[in-house]
């Protein structure tokens, strides 16, 4: 009987958590929100979802460009009370 590490499937592939990773960049201006998201994507498994919380309205423009560059996608952009919640999904070919 083989053993697997927590967070990894028996094949050794990382398991994507159903809970999105939160990246809080509220109160920061461009380029900080995108830089924080890029850093979080570096350690996220392919297919993982992350939610960027940002007060900078430029994040609405910058994040889609970043995700296109990295091979991921924007899943949703929501306006909350004074901030944006941008949900992204890391692509399989994402450079991270």
Q: What pLDDT was estimated at residue 1? A: 43
For residue 58, give its domain range.
21-89
User: How many C-beta neighbours within 10 Å does residue 31 have?
Assistant: 14
Q: Is residue 36 part of a domain?
A: yes
Tens digit of pLDDT for each residue in 73-87?
999 999 999 999 999
Question: What is the pLDDT at residue 13?
Answer: 58
The verdict on residue 4 lying in a domain is no
> Which tokens hold the place of 38?
């890029």
CA-based nearest residue to 65, from 93, 88, 85, 47: 88
* Domains of the chain: total: 1
30 is catalytic: yes
| Residues of the chain below pLDDT 70 | 1-16, 93-96
Q: Check 15, 16, 30, 32 and give the catalytic one.
A: 30
Q: Residue 44 maps to which CATH number?
A: 3.30.110.40
CA angle at residue 78 from 74 to 84, to 5 degrees?
95
Which pLDDT score is estimated for 46? 94
**Predicted structure pTM score:** 0.80
**What is the reported pLDDT for 15?**
58
Does 12 map to a domain?
Answer: no
């Amino acid at each position: 009987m083989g053993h697997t590490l927590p967070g990894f499937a028996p094949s050794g592939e990382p398991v994507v958590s159903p809970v999105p990773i939160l990246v809080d960049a509220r109160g920061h201006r461009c380029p900080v929100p995108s830089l924080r998201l890029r850093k979080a994507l570096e350690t996220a498994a392919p297919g993982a979802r992350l939610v960027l919380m940002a007060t900078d309205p430029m994040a609405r423009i910058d994040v889609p460009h970043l995700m296109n560059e990295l091979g991921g996608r924007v899943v949703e952009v929501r306006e909350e009370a004074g901030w944006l919640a941008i949900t992204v999904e890391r692509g399989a070919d994402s450079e991270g």
